[in-house]
């Protein structure tokens, strides 16, 4: 379950954010099952109508339930390219 929002600050710059509420079954890698929150925010620079560069991006992943497998809050900085077809 998630929500995604985009603000156009001015052409060609946007602020993109997304929050997702997920349930991890723990099946594939022997982790505990539980709920996780995932928040992303970043700047999108429109290069053409079909290509944008997302730089910088920031992501926070937070366990929302009691997970005994040692998972803690993680943060990730990054960038990316979006192609629209």
pLDDT tens per residue across span 4-23:
999 999 989 999 999 999 98
Residues 6+ apart with CB under 8 A from 31: 24, 67, 69, 71
Tell me how crowded residue 44 is: count the other CB atoms within 10 A of its CB: 21
The backbone torsions φ and ψ at residue 72, rounded to the nearest 5 degrees and listed phi first, read -130, 180
Distance CA 56, CA 79 (A): 5
Q: What is the pLDDT of residues 11-56, one digit of tens each?
A: 899 999 999 999 888 777 677 888 999 999 999 999 999 999 999 9
Tell me the pTM.
0.77
């Amino acid at each position: 379950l998630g929500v995604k929002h985009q603000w156009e600050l001015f052409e060609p710059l946007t602020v993109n954010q997304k929050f997702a509420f997920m349930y991890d079954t723990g099946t594939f890698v022997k982790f505990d099952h539980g709920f996780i929150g995932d928040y992303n925010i970043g700047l999108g620079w429109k290069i053409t109508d079909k290509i944008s560069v997302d730089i910088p991006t920031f992501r926070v992943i937070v366990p929302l339930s009691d997970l005994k497998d040692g998972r803690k809050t993680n943060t990730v900085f990054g960038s990316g390219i979006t192609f629209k077809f």
